[in-house]
Amino acid sequence: MKPSPFILLCATGLFAIFSSTISKSPALPLFTSYLGGDPSMVGMVAAVSAFTGIVASIPAGILADRWGRKRLLVISAIIFASAPFLYLLVTKIWQLAIIRFYHGLATAIFVPVAMALIAGLFHGERGERMGWFSTATLFGRFMAPVIGGAIIGAMALNPEIGYKVVYLVCGGAGILVLLLALKIPDPNGGAKNYQNWKETLRAFKTVISNKEILFTSVVEAAILFAYGTFETFLPLYSLKIGLSAYIVGIFLSAQVITLALAKPVMGRFSDKHGRRPQIFAGAIIGAVCIGAFSFFTSFVPLLVLSVSFGLSLSIVTSATAALIADLSKKETHGVAMGTLGSIMDMGHTTGPLISGFIAAYFGLAFSFVGASVILLFFAFVFLWGTIHHQAVIS
């Protein structure tokens, strides 16, 4: 019995995100330091792939709509399969930065194209299916640091060999991604969606001129701004208040598990009860949770907040991509998901940067308050935009 296209896509997503994550967590900062990089260099190299996501997601979506999603999926899989082996040749930091840019293209292409593929295959259960796909990728994201850290720890006496083994494992996962991607059937039969670039450009303008798509993308960027603040500064805050690194790991793992379990459920909920109220409610809950971190200094409250913030993240993100798919035509799902991916990456990337300035001037606790205010503001911007849009339609 052959697996369904959706199961194949979920399996591809799991190994793709596993491969992407094990290349950087925890290997990348350690490898950069091993090559002689100072903290600023570590930050620069880490930011390269995030920058790739910002600039490449929309072009990837446009090309997916024009050339077909299967073709773009295979292109991203080729990058997943080839990039890890280039790390084995690195001897300079500038070489590592170039490879990170190339490797970053894989995720920048894969995620919006895969979401567009799901949006095209499903309608009534779109949110739930997107939730299951996200859960598959989260399992890959969860396993990667554990395996990567275990390899590096086991070979601590010879770190160079340890890094090479990590990138060989990364490459093996990338090859699996390519093999699985080739098995996914092409829903368009290889046909192009557009006859010429003029029509492609017109479709792109239609998407970016849809204010509700932009409002939805921005509110997701806002909650990922808060998430970037959480994952960057909660470890520092926890250590400052006397909690151990082991406890920090529990906070982060509990949140990932919450996300993985809740996303399909919340996606299904949005299918049945509407996406807009769910997005607004999730953003408000997230704003309350991220701000509350600054008021507690003991294990149990911080664990509850970590789980609750993970739940709010699943409430919002399980509905945003599905709403954007609802708001766009089937032939423009690629560019719509690319737009979401680009704006989303902006939020995730700027979160640690802006919150870092807040933490430097006002203290670590205030970084959470700042993220809360920003998320709260954009939650109401989304609410206003949604109400205004519905009033215009009426």
Q: What is the pLDDT of residue 176?
A: 98
User: What is the pLDDT, as a whole number, of residue 377?
Assistant: 97
The pLDDT assigned to 149 comes to 85
Per-residue pLDDT tens over the stretch 158-201: 989 999 999 999 999 999 999 999 999 887 655 555 446 777 77
**Looking at residue 193, what is its pLDDT?**
53
Structure tokens at 70: 């299967």
Q: 323: Cβ–Cβ under 8 A, 6 or more apart, which residues?
A: 216, 270, 275, 276, 279
pLDDT the model gives residue 15: 98
**Per-residue tokens: 164:** 């090479």
1-193 and 208-394 share one CATH topology?
Answer: yes
Q: Which two tokens stand for residue 294?
A: 């600054």
Write down the mean pLDDT value for the chain. Answer: 89
Instruction: Give the start-to-end residue ranges of the domains of the chain.
Output: 1-193, 208-394
Q: Select from 382, 336, 354, 389 the least CA-distant residue to 218.
A: 382
Q: Which residues contact 250 (CB under 8 A, 6 or more apart)?
A: 303
Residue length of the chain: 394
Q: How far apart are CA 310 and CA 321, in angstroms?
A: 17
d(CA 290, CA 374): 11
**Distance between alpha carbon 45 and the CA centroid of its chain, in Å?**
18
Query: What pLDDT, on the 0 to 100 scale, is given for residue 196?
Result: 63
> What is 1-193's CATH number, 3.30.360.10, 3.40.50.1820, 1.10.3720.10, 1.20.1250.20?
1.20.1250.20
Q: How does pLDDT run across 90-124, given as a tens digit for each residue?
A: 999 999 999 999 999 999 999 999 999 998 888 87
Which alpha helices (DSSP H) does the chain contain, by range?
Answer: 5-22, 27-34, 39-67, 69-86, 93-121, 126-154, 159-183, 197-208, 211-240, 245-273, 276-292, 299-327, 333-362, 364-393
Rounded Cα distance between 85 and 102, Å, is: 12
CATH number of 208-394: 1.20.1250.20
CA atoms within 13 A on the CB side of 283: 30
Structure confidence at residue 261 (pLDDT): 92
Q: In whole angstroms, give the CA distance from residue 305 to residue 352.
A: 19
Q: With a cut of 70, which residues of the chain have pLDDT below it?
A: 1, 39, 188-196, 245, 389-394
Query: Quick one: pLDDT at residue 65?
Result: 85
